[in-house]
Amino acid sequence: MNKVLLYCRPGFEKECAAEISAKAAEREIYGFPRVKENSGYVLFECYQFEDAERLARELPFDDLIFARQMLVVGELLRDLPQEDRITPIVGMLTGVVEKGGELRVEVPDTNEAKELTKFCRKFTVPLRTALRESKILLNYESPKRPVVHVFFIAPGTCYVGYSLPENSSPFYMGIPRLKFPSDAPSRSTLKLEEAFHVFIPADEWDERLASGMYAVDLGACPGGWTYQLVQRSMMVYAVDNGPMAPSLMDTGQVMHERADGFKFRPPRTNISWLVCDMVEKPVRVANLMTDWLVNGWCREAIFNLKLPMKKRYEEVTQNLAMIQERLNENGINAQIRARQLYHDREEVTVHIRRIWAAAGGRRDER
């Protein structure tokens, strides 16, 4: 198999393609992307056969901004016979995957492909049985073994391949399924919840999203992001001239500051989280966030960079490079990640975590 398949938000195929080409070239892996606009995926075809697996192994999935999933696939299977779609799929995987831990039959995240999801659900059952009989899948689910993916782009037409569980999204179609909490003041609450799922390992939530922590939410109204922080029993300074949802104010955990988010300064020294959803030029937001981190006003930040109509990949990479440069100049050690989340539209979400150096030179987290 010589192709890497990436799932992305429909409309962002060019950004996803530019990113995979650049990041593959950094590793001296050469190939070319195949892009079909609004398809919800990009194929990166490697010139060297074995490079697809190498790319899927060596390029950290967490470094990708525009991809929701990354897998290795072979040639497109077309015209699968209705009476037996299974045999060609098993044939494609034979000798490629052994003892896989899970099967996911998926589709691109487009309206047209939605019609195929019912079929995919039904088809999963007999296909899983056949893959188990062929030893391509284990007889039980294992999160440590490769995941077999069958990706239907049209009826009877699919890519077949696998992802490496330690370097891919654990979610079906690369999308965490989150339920909108009926008492949240806005749908954008799901953006921050998804960001927590994507950027913070589940076993670190209790420590890093702990009850009693202080947070600042810039551009908070009506309060969807503040709601997430309140749910985690944090105290929140909600900065915005607009109105906050009364239900949040009633919790007693929210201090509403009617101020300009660019001028607001931390009212205390123990702010753990800074979050920011202000609709502003990306460079202004990126600089503001960097100011907070450089000054040690917060430990971690999650914020959106709203993307322009054109040169969106360049805009993101330039801002991330600028943040990194300013942190370096100030001797700040930090971990930066960015991802276009499922709940993001024309924007990406960035997470930065400051890592404090403890006395004696040992790197430690505050």
Q: Which backbone phi and psi does 202 adopt, to 5 degrees? A: -55, -35
At 116, the amino acid letter reads L
Listed ranges 129-137, 174-182, 272-280, 340-348: which one lies at the site for ligand SAM (CB under 6 A): 272-280
Catalytic residue among 23, 263, 306, 310: 306
Q: Is 134 annotated as a binding residue?
A: no
Q: Which of residues 184-223 bind ligand SAM (CB under 6 A)?
A: 185-186, 188-189, 219-223
Find where tokens 């430690």 sit: 364
Contact between 41 and ligand SAM per CB under 6 A: no
Q: Is 224 annotated as a binding residue?
A: yes
For residue 115, give both structure tokens: 């019609």
Least distance (Å) from ligand SAM to the CB of residue 346? 12
Which pairing describes strands 347-355 and 333-339: parallel, antiparallel, or unpaired? antiparallel
Listed ranges 6-14, 79-87, 155-163, 277-285: which one lies at the site for ligand SAM (CB under 6 A): 277-285
Q: Walk across the sheet containing 31-35 and list its strands.
A: 31-35, 41-46, 3-7, 69-73, 157-163, 147-154, 102-106
Cβ-based nearer residue to ligand SAM, 184 or 352: 184
Contact between 225 and ligand SAM per CB under 6 A: yes
Q: Is 163 annotated as a binding residue?
A: no
Specify the length of the chain in residues.
366
How far is it, in rounded angstroms, from Cα 275 to Cα 298?
Answer: 10
263 is an active site residue: no
For residue 141, give both structure tokens: 């689910």
Cβ-based nearer residue to ligand SAM, 97 or 350: 350
Q: Which ranges of the chain would DSSP assign to H, the alpha helix?
A: 13-26, 51-58, 86-93, 111-114, 117-133, 189-199, 205-208, 224-231, 246-249, 282-294, 312-329
How far is it, in rounded angstroms, from Cα 192 to Cα 341?
Answer: 10
Least distance (Å) from ligand SAM to the CB of residue 229? 11
Least distance (Å) from ligand SAM to the CB of residue 264? 7
For residue 175, give both structure tokens: 């999308």
- Mark 231-250 with x for binding to ligand SAM (rule: CB under 6 A) and - for no binding: --------xxxx--------
Cβ-based nearer residue to ligand SAM, 23 or 343: 343
Cβ-based nearer residue to ligand SAM, 13 or 280: 280
Cβ-based nearer residue to ligand SAM, 71 or 220: 220
Contact between 302 and ligand SAM per CB under 6 A: no
Q: Which of residues 134-193 bind ligand SAM (CB under 6 A)?
A: 185-186, 188-189
Instruction: With CA atoms as reference, report the closest residue to 274 among 346, 219, 204, 200.
Output: 219
Q: Is 222 annotated as a binding residue?
A: yes
How far is it, in rounded angstroms, from Cα 58 to Cα 26?
Answer: 11
Long-range contacts of 252-257, Cβ-Cβ distance < 8 Å, separation of 24 or more = 254/223, 254/226, 254/230, 256/220
Query: What are the residue numbers of the active site?
Result: 306
Which residues of the chain form contacts with ligand SAM (CB under 6 A)? 185-186, 188-189, 219-225, 239-242, 260-262, 277-280
**Known binding-site positions:** 188, 221-224, 240, 260, 277
**Known binding-site positions for S-adenosyl-L-methionine:** 188, 221-224, 240, 260, 277
